[in-house]
Amino acid sequence: MLVGKSEDKKRLIVLIGKTGCGKSTSGNTILGRKEFKSGTTTTSVTKFCQKAHSEIDGRPVVVVDTPGLFDNSLTPEEVNDEITKCISLLAPGPHVFLLVVEIGRITPEEKATLELIKKIFGKNSEKFTIVLFTRGDSLEHEEQTIEDYTQKECDDSLKKLISDCGGRYHVFNNYKKQSQSAQNKQSAHSQVNELITKIDNMVKKNGGSCFTNRILKDKEEEMKRQQEKLQITYEERIQSMKKRMEEQKAEIDQEIKLRDEQLKKLQDSICHCCNKFFLFFILFHSWHTFLIKLCVTTIVHQHHSQ
């Protein structure tokens, strides 16, 4: 059993294989729920990489389902886009590539898949690969074990594929979980637990780390660079906004100062006018009083002289 932090116990699993081999259904078996679309119709065919999280007996697992990257279900551009997306979903690196193969239906393309995985993900990727057979129910029907199948039944190219993957393989009966019987539910759970144990043993053999190669590292670094670039752009924008706001504030302050000065001038001129008017009024009043007095004196004088 693995001990340590939850991050150490976490398993990042990628499903790779041709369209219709059972990747999405196997992903759902691992997750313990129907997350990825599966089926035989064209509408159910996965066109994009998808990521989903779950827990197996309290352990976090992340599953990445991929479309048929190595068959003709996608255009070369779509394959390119999806591989780029897949790599970004896998950061910092998967613990295992599950090379999904249907029991009894190995095709020449599938034989070349491991080579393609190596070409895309790098030389060491086969050290992180487990062959996952689907349609284990057909073996049960034939009362055959997976060991019988891999040692006696399958052809040399499949034997070579398994040996290139360090002899690691596992079988899923993805239809087990659909049955309601308690015994089937238990054995559906145990086939997932057995796979996790095989993954753990492989991880241990690989020095306890996940798969990281130049491509994944380059992608990670590129994403980091983009993030830094974005941060710099945002900081620059914030700084220029701050500067613009400060300039606007200075303009407003200047405007207020100007208005204050104008107001003061207006008040001064009003006061000045008032003073003038008051002086004029006093002069006028004094002059007016003087004239009246003069008139009265003149009239009184005339009256006395008569």
Q: What residue ranges bind Mg ion (CB under 5 A)?
A: 23-24, 46
Is the peptide bond preceding residue 92 cis, with omega within 30 degrees of 0? yes
Footprint on residues 24-43 left by ligand GDP (CB under 6 A): 24-25, 38-40
CA distance 29 to 7: 22
Query: Is the Cβ of residue 32 or residue 122 nearer to ligand GDP in the bound state?
Result: 32
Query: Is the Cβ of residue 107 or residue 239 nearer to Mg ion in the bound state?
Result: 107
At 288, list the tokens.
């007016």
Mapped onto helix, strand or coil, the DSSP state of residue 276 is helix
Query: Is the Cβ of residue 22 or residue 203 nearer to ligand GDP in the bound state?
Result: 22
Stretch that binds ligand GDP, among 120-128, 131-139, 186-194, 296-304 (CB under 6 A): 131-139
Query: Is the Cβ of residue 44 or residue 227 nearer to ligand GDP in the bound state?
Result: 44
Q: How far is the CB of 103 from ligand GDP (least distance, A)?
A: 8
Per rule CB under 6 A, is residue 20 in the interface with ligand GDP?
yes
Out of 127, 146, 153, 175, point to the residue binding ligand GDP (CB under 6 A). 175
How many Cα neighbours within 13 Å face the side chain of 88? 10
Contacted entry of ligand GDP, Mg ion, none for residue 140, CB cut-off 5 to 8 Å set by kind: none
Query: Is the Cβ of residue 26 or residue 125 nearer to ligand GDP in the bound state?
Result: 26
Per rule CB under 6 A, is residue 109 in the interface with ligand GDP?
no
Q: Is 64 exposed, middle or buried (0-12, 13-18, 19+ CB in 10 A)?
A: buried
Q: How far is the CB of 226 from Mg ion (least distance, A)?
A: 30
CA distance 230 to 205: 39
Task: Locate all alpha helices (DSSP H) within the chain, ordered by sequence.
Answer: 6-9, 23-31, 76-90, 108-121, 136-141, 146-148, 156-164, 182-205, 214-305
Per rule CB under 6 A, is residue 191 in the interface with ligand GDP?
no
Footprint on residues 133-172 left by ligand GDP (CB under 6 A): 134-137, 172
- Give the residue from 95, 130, 104 showing the smallest Cα distance to 16: 130
Contacted entry of ligand GDP, Mg ion, none for residue 39, CB cut-off 5 to 8 Å set by kind: ligand GDP
Contacted entry of ligand GDP, Mg ion, none for residue 63, CB cut-off 5 to 8 Å set by kind: none
Cβ 139 vs Cβ 174: under 8 Å: no
Q: How far is the CB of 236 from ligand GDP (least distance, A)?
A: 45
Cβ 66 vs Cβ 74: under 8 Å: no
CA distance 29 to 36: 10
Per rule CB under 6 A, is residue 113 in the interface with ligand GDP?
no
CA distance 256 to 291: 52
Phi, psi (deg, nearest 5) at residue 53: -110, 150
Mapped onto helix, strand or coil, the DSSP state of residue 152 is helix
Instruction: Tell me, residue by residue from 56 to 95, as one string, x for binding to ligand GDP by CB under 6 A and - for no binding.
Output: ----------------------------------------
Contacted entry of Mg ion, ligand GDP, none for residue 50, CB cut-off 5 to 8 Å set by kind: none
Q: Which residues bind ligand GDP (CB under 6 A)?
A: 17, 19-25, 38-40, 44-46, 134-137, 172-175
